Structure 1
Amino acid sequence: MSDPSYDVVILGSGPVGCVLALSLARNAVHPERIALMGPDPAPRAPDQAIDPRALALNHGSRQFLQHLNAWPARAAEVLTVHVSQAGHLGRTVIDQAELGVPRLGCVVSYDELLESLHAAVQRSGVQRITERPPRPAAGRPVTLRLGHGTVSSRLALVSDGARPQGLHREYDQAAVLATIRAGQPAPGRAFERFTRTGPLALLPHPAGQDLYSLVWCVRPPQATVLAGLPDAAFNQALQNAFGQRLGALRRLGSAHTFPLSLHAGPSLQGLGTLAVGNAAQTLHPVAGQGLNLGLRDAAQLAHMLQPWLASPDQPLQPLLEHYARRRRLDRGLTLGITDMLPRLFATDNPLLRHACGLGLAALDLLPALRTPLARHLLQGQRL
């Protein structure tokens, strides 16, 4: 049998796929035997409105991306997170000083992060295949049928964002995304406010100190209505839901919506095939954990594959099985937290809602309760 075309093919050129390519290339004797497959992003027009797709990256993710020389030029720091519940007493504040880190995280533009990652991949020696990734046929080697023929690889890493098969939950919520200008901005402070329809987050935006990225989770029909409102009506609805902590709130540009659901499946998908990032788990956006969890997938996988990258003829499957076992705790805890919070706080049971308020107050008063949760959201479980 002839040698495979590549040692590794990464199916999906989004943030997690790019980070995987960069991490593996650093440890590979022949980085040109790693391929990253996926179409190039469409170029942005210079006069295009501020992109509301901002990404919250925790401190651990920032350190990882800086290590890969892929950190974007602009980022808004998050020093504190204010968590509250609409209509009830009780709130908690998570602060970077308490955790002994310079920042809890940063917010970056999706477009600017992807541009920085693609530039780093271009410098790395990794091969680019700008076709849309097909489904791999598991085996030894893995085969991929493209428009111009067949590509084979010893290892296929699926990071294309396709919904994983397995655990599935519909939240009856959709997220409304928009860029907001605040009349009284609070530099370095992010807000997560739980409402009867779902969480509402305002995150510092890298495009300006008075700008915030809005992620507003509501029932799907309400999301459609909100996205179609004129500016004045949208601003009033947002003000009513969020309150006056940032002064007058004004939408810039249009709003966008997307449905929210949980999908999670096994990391190991067959001989020589592994799923990471959104291809392994798609989470509710509460607490901004989806991309951070995917980046931890990439970091741990690259670490475990170091000996195999030095000698790709050695057995691969035991390493993949070991990786899948080691990722269970971090994945399970993060899925559990992000699945529980939006359902718990959106309950119609008044006793449970009061209990949630008391829970927030307890977190604020008792660091022994608050710190372990904050540390998990900051860096996950790195075993």
Structure 2
Amino acid sequence: MNKTSQYDVIISGGGLSGLLTAIGLINETPELSIAIIEPVKPITVNSTNNTQQATKNFDDRCLALSYGSLQLLNHWHVWPQLKPLAWPIKTIITSDRGHIGKTIMRAAQYDLNAMGYVAAMRNMGAAFTQSLNTLIQDKNSNLTWYTPNNIKQVSQQPEQIQLVLDDQQTITGKLLVVAEGGNSPTRQTLKISTSTQAYEQSAIIANIQVNKNNKINDVLSLDETHSQNKHNGESQQLNGHTAFERFTTSGPIAFLPIDKDQYSVVWSVKPEQVEQIMGLPDTDFCQQLQSAFGHAGGVIVKTSKRESYPLGLTKAESIISDRVVLVGNSAHTIHPIAGQGFNLGLRDVAYLVKQIKHGVDNNVDIGAFSVLQQYQAGRVKDISRITGFTDLLVKMFALEGRLPALTRTLGLLALQKVTSLQQWFALHFMSSKV
């Protein structure tokens, strides 16, 4: 008979959300014992203190980190490891292709060095792993990795949760944190239902290189006109730290700066366009993306390997169950418009850690349903706010016709002209309150 190992918190998923949950718990409640279950075998293993290095196969997709997220990562001593691997966004330009509406937000308006940063998932995984390993040593924490492993059976009992892994190991804990991503198998095992709304869009992801050393008369403005005043304004935009959100009738196109002449691109297209665009030679792909986006970011000269996936909005009907909580994409997946997905999940983790710490400080069972209810109640408003707003943007900018276009134009112009409205909009997305 296999021995049963006991822990305070079990985290299912060693990706970014799972790593960050462990980092937050060790920072705030180092006395807790933690287990992480991860199906992808790590590349390197450190047997010291019975811990392993969580080197997941993170890829080169990039994520936008809001100013509020940076504050939390700094509080948990992660940001110093990640900052050298991230690229600052100092200006954000939002526009509607073919129309005059445009909004420009600059970090200097808010006395900030940057509105946020962009980092590759691969680099974030490395920084989180390094921070976690340092914390384990500094705090002498009890953290054990189970990898490569999957959860095969879940038994929710009154005093604990019991898991049987695919190699027949049995582990128990006071609380199970599900951080497995959008297609969470444990969420399905627990029969936690989800509501899904498919958008008539798919995302094409790539990293591109641009040439900005062209004459200003060869660069079209965001509104595709040839006004010299607009060209002069645009020359200030090509500074390597500007992010673009460009709305088209096929869907939004985001250019996130990752170097002075490179962007991470999220190109939302209609599903019937995906196969044709993905099959293009690199040169033709660059030309078609250039035609769809315009020349505001420079002339596209090179692209990386491309990936694509369908877009939709998925929300768990409940983000808690008996001795179980969902965080990140296991709880909600949203459209990449405005780059809010990871930031929303980070706030899940932050609020969960806050509730666990409160339980520990007050000698309360951290897996008690009252604690989990506090977590869910504290996250409902923020999740609804972001999912509702991104859903509205997707639908509003997808509408064709003069009236929707006029409405969008007036909205973007108002956002640009009314300082208080722009400040509300910017702070709405930069906030880290949990």
Matched, 1:139 2:167: no
- Counterpart position of 1:154: 174
Cα deviation, 1:310-337, whole Å, max 9, x if unaligned, reads 5464772212111111111111110111
**SS, match of residue 93 in structure 2:** strand
The farther-off stretch of 66-75 and 131-140 is 131-140
- Matched to 1:66, the amino acid is N
The 1:132/1:287 distance shift into structure 2, 3 A limit, reads: farther
Compute the displacement of 1:42 (Å): 6.4
Instruction: List structure 1 runs of 4+ shifted beyond 4 angstroms.
Output: 40-44, 312-315
Q: Equivalences for 1:68-79 in 2 at 5 Å? A: 68-71=76-79, 72=82, 73-79=84-90
Larger radius of gyration: 2
- Counterpart position of 1:128: 145
Q: Give the conservation status (yes or no) of the 8 Å contact 1:186–1:246.
A: no
Q: Give the conservation status (yes or no) of the 8 Å contact 1:27–1:309.
A: no
Compute the displacement of 1:43 (Å): 5.5
Structure 2: distance between partners of 1:314 and 1:172 = 41
Matched, 1:171 2:191: no
> Normalised by the size of structure 2, how large is the TM-score?
0.81
**SS, match of residue 19 in structure 1:** helix
Structure 2: distance between partners of 1:326 and 1:4 = 31
Structure 2: distance between partners of 1:313 and 1:330 = 26
Is there any run of 5+ residues in structure 2 with no aligned partner, and where? 45-57, 188-192, 213-237
Structure 1: distance between partners of 2:155 and 2:335 = 30
**SS, match of residue 305 in structure 2:** strand
Q: Give the conservation status (yes or no) of the 8 Å contact 1:180–1:212.
A: yes
- Counterpart position of 2:418: 366
Structure 2: distance between partners of 1:150 and 1:3 = 5
Compute the displacement of 1:259 (Å): 1.1
- Matched to 1:26, the amino acid is N
Q: Equivalences for 1:34-49 in 2 at 5 Å? A: 34-40=34-40
Matched, 1:90 2:101: yes
Q: Equivalences for 1:197-208 in 2 at 5 Å? A: 197-205=250-258, 208=259
- Counterpart position of 1:188: 241
Compute the displacement of 1:4 (Å): 6.9
- Matched to 1:92, the amino acid is T
Cα deviation, 1:53-73, whole Å, max 9, x if unaligned, reads 011011111222223232323
Compute the displacement of 1:132 (Å): 4.0
Q: Give the conservation status (yes or no) of the 8 Å contact 1:267–1:276.
A: no
- Matched to 1:68, the amino acid is W
> Normalised by the size of structure 1, how large is the TM-score?
0.91
- Counterpart position of 2:235: none
- Matched to 1:27, the amino acid is E
- Counterpart position of 1:348: 400
Q: Give the conservation status (yes or no) of the 8 Å contact 1:52–1:177.
A: no
**SS, match of residue 203 in structure 1:** strand
Compute the displacement of 1:51 (Å): 5.6
Could you say what the CA RMSD is over the residues aligned between the two structures, in angstroms? 2.3
Compute the displacement of 1:89 (Å): 1.2
Q: Give the conservation status (yes or no) of the 8 Å contact 2:195–2:315.
A: yes
The farther-off stretch of 277-286 and 344-353 is 344-353
Q: Structure 1 vs Structure 2: percent identity of aligned residues?
A: 32
Structure 2: distance between partners of 1:29 and 1:253 = 42
**SS, match of residue 254 in structure 1:** coil
2:92 corresponds, among 75, 81, 85, to 81
- Counterpart position of 1:47: none
Is there any run of 5+ residues in structure 1 with no aligned partner, and where? 45-49
How many pairs were matched up? 373
Structure 1: distance between partners of 2:127 and 2:30 = 24
Cα deviation, 1:252-288, whole Å, max 9, x if unaligned, reads 3221111111101145432111111111110100001
